[in-house]
C-alpha cells in the first residue's frame, strides 16, 4: 500500500467514524468504482434494567468517494436480523453470567466486558484487555 492509499484510508476511517461506523480491515475497490467496506456499527440493546446499551455489530458498506476522498454516498450499513439477534443474545448471556461490569450498582471485577461511555455519551460494551497472570 502506498502513502497516498494510507492517507486515503485514514481519511475514510475518520469520515466513517463521524457517521457511526468503525472501519475494519482494508476497503476493496469494486468494478463499479465503489469501495466495499467492512465495518462495525453500534446496535442499541437493553441491559437488565431496560436501560440503553450499545454493542458493536458487523456491517458491510458500499462507499462512493470524490477525488478528494470525501464520502459522496453510503449504501448498506444495516446489520442483518441474525446479527442483531446474535448481539442481543450475547449481551443477555454476559449479564446472566456476571461478565459485564459497569451496570448500575452491580460491580463485576472479574468480568470479561465492561460498559464505557463514548464521546456521544452512549453506554458501549467493550471487551476488557486480558491480563496475564505471569
Segment 88-130, tens digit of pLDDT: 999 999 999 989 998 877 788 888 999 999 988 999 999 987 6
Segment 39-62, tens digit of pLDDT: 999 999 977 777 889 999 999 999
pLDDT category at 84 given cuts 50, 70, 90 is: very high
pLDDT at 65: 86
CA–CA distance, 43 with 54 (Å, rounded to integer):
5
Statement: residue 1 has pLDDT above 60: no
Question: What distance lies between CA 36 and its chain's CA centroid?
Answer: 17
Q: In the chain, where does DSSP find H-type helix?
A: 3-18, 81-96
Segment 6-15, tens digit of pLDDT: 557 888 888 9
Comparing CA positions, the residue from 89, 111, 88, 87 lying closest to residue 98 is 111
* Domain ranges, ordered by start, for the chain: 3-127
Which residues in the chain belong to E strands, given as ranges?
21-29, 35-46, 52-65, 71-76, 100-101, 113-117, 123-127
Statement: residue 132 has pLDDT above 70: no
Tell me the percentage of the chain whose pLDDT exceeds 70: 91
Amino acid at each position: 500500500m502506498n502513502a497516498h492509499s494510507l492517507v486515503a484510508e485514514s481519511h475514510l476511517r475518520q469520515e466513517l467514524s463521524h457517521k457511526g461506523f468503525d472501519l475494519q480491515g482494508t476497503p476493496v475497490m469494486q468494478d463499479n468504482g465503489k469501495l466495499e467496506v467492512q465495518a462495525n456499527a453500534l446496535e442499541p440493546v437493553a441491559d437488565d434494567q431496560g436501560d440503553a446499551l450499545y454493542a458493536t455489530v458487523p456491517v458491510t458498506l458500499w462507499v462512493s468517494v470524490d477525488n478528494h476522498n470525501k464520502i459522496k454516498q453510503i449504501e448498506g450499513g444495516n446489520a442483518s436480523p441474525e446479527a442483531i439477534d446474535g448481539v442481543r443474545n450475547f449481551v443477555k448471556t454476559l449479564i446472566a453470567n456476571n461478565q459485564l461490569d459497569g451496570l448500575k450498582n452491580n460491580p463485576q471485577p472479574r468480568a470479561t466486558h465492561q460498559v464505557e461511555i463514548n464521546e456521544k455519551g452512549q453506554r458501549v460494551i467493550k471487551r476488557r484487555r486480558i491480563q496475564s497472570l505471569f
